């Protein structure tokens, strides 16, 4: 079994450090972290940072890995998991996402996303959010509940390349783009899925919407009471418990 972790915005693979350590304590050592282009990884020549561009990137990465694969996506990483596996569910043994509700027809992007989707406003906002010194960037991340150590690691990857990729991706994903892709959400039921619902995560739709999306995708639900968007940093032991419990239930698949 290979666990594959895919992070989102405005993150780098350092986000997973606490969870990887907690998984190791539970005997899970074969872990691969995939960094989307522009988010802690170089942007290849010709790469277009669109929803479909990241879908195709993830499909190519999965094709190059030995299986069976248990795929975990957080934030936009969860979005990439969804769009990729709607096309090629056979590439994994299982999948996990904490952002399924973005595929619901009535999902409304959060305030930050709507700012980035607005010409000129988005450029100014993202430069302020991801600019400055490493210390300043880390302070902003810490305000969201990310530990100081992880925030400092991630700050090094928050550069102008990430800023450009954020704007391109969110503008391409402006509704009804994600709702249209969500018309195929039921295809995810082809492989066992887990929808993580952190109850204090207010970026990814309301509770009813999130449970509805999980049902459409044929996914089990793990509710993380009291945890927010960065649940894997806030309580990595709990995250590891939920994930390993799900994977252990897939014996023989």
Task: Name the average pLDDT for the chain.
Answer: 96
Judge whether residue 251 has pLDDT over 80: no
Domain ranges of the chain: 2-108+176-248
pLDDT above 90 (res 6): yes
The C-alpha atoms of residue 174 and residue 252 are separated, in whole angstroms, by: 40
Which pLDDT band holds residue 233 (cuts at 50, 70, 90)? very high
Q: Beta strand pairing status for 94-97 and 2-6? A: unpaired
Segment 171-210, tens digit of pLDDT:
999 999 999 999 999 999 999 999 999 999 999 999 999 9
- Residue 12: CA count within 13 A, CB half-sphere: 20
List C-alpha distances in Å: 41 to 9, 36, 157, 251: 12, 6, 8, 34
Report the DSSP beta bridge partners of residue 5: 33, 72
| Options 3.40.50.2300, 3.40.50.1820, 3.30.2270.10, 3.40.50.300; CATH of 2-108+176-248 | 3.40.50.1820
The whole-number pLDDT of residue 67 equals 85
201's CB contacts (< 8 A; 6+ apart) are 98, 227, 228, 229, 231
Residue 109 pLDDT > 70: yes
Grouping H, G, I as helix, E, B as strand and the rest as coil, residue 237 is helix
For residue 88, the Cα-to-chain-centroid distance in whole angstroms is 18
Place of tokens 């391109």: 168
Three-class DSSP category at 59: helix
User: 82-101 pLDDT, tens per residue?
Assistant: 999 999 999 999 999 999 99
Residue 1's pLDDT is 86
pLDDT attached to residue 253: 66
Cis peptide before 68 (omega within 30 of 0): yes
CA distances from 146 to 47, 72, 83, 128, 235 (A): 30, 19, 27, 19, 11
Measured distance CA(37)–CA(143) in Å, rounded: 25
């Amino acid at each position: 079994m290979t666990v594959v972790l895919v992070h989102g915005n405005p993150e780098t693979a350092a986000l997973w450090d606490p969870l990887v350590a907690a998984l190791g304590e539970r005997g899970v050592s074969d872990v691969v972290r995939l960094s989307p282009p522009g988010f802690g990884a170089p942007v290849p020549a010709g790469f277009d940072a669109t929803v479909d561009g990241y879908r195709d990137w993830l499909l190519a990465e999965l094709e190059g890995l030995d299986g069976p694969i248990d795929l975990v996506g957080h934030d936009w990483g969860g979005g990439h998991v969804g769009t990729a596996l709607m096309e090629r569910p056979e590439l994994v043994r299982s999948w996990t996402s904490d952002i399924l509700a973005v595929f619901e027809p009535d999902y409304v992007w959060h305030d930050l996303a709507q700012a980035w989707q607005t010409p000129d406003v988005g450029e100014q906002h993202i430069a302020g959010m991801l600019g400055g010194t490493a210390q300043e960037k880390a302070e902003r991340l810490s305000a969201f509940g990310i530990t100081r150590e992880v925030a400092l690691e991630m700050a090094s990857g928050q550069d102008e390349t990430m800023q450009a990729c954020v704007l391109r991706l969110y503008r391409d994903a402006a509704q009804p783009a994600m709702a249209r892709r969500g018309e195929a959400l039921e295809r995810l039921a082809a492989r066992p899925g887990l929808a993580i619902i952190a109850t204090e995560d207010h970026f990814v739709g309301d509770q009813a919407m999130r449970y509805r999306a999980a049902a459409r995708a044929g996914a089990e639900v793990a509710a993380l009471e009291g945890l927010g968007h960065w649940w894997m940093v806030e309580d990595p032991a709990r995250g590891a418990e939920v994930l390993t419990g799900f994977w252990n239930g897939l014996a023989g698949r």
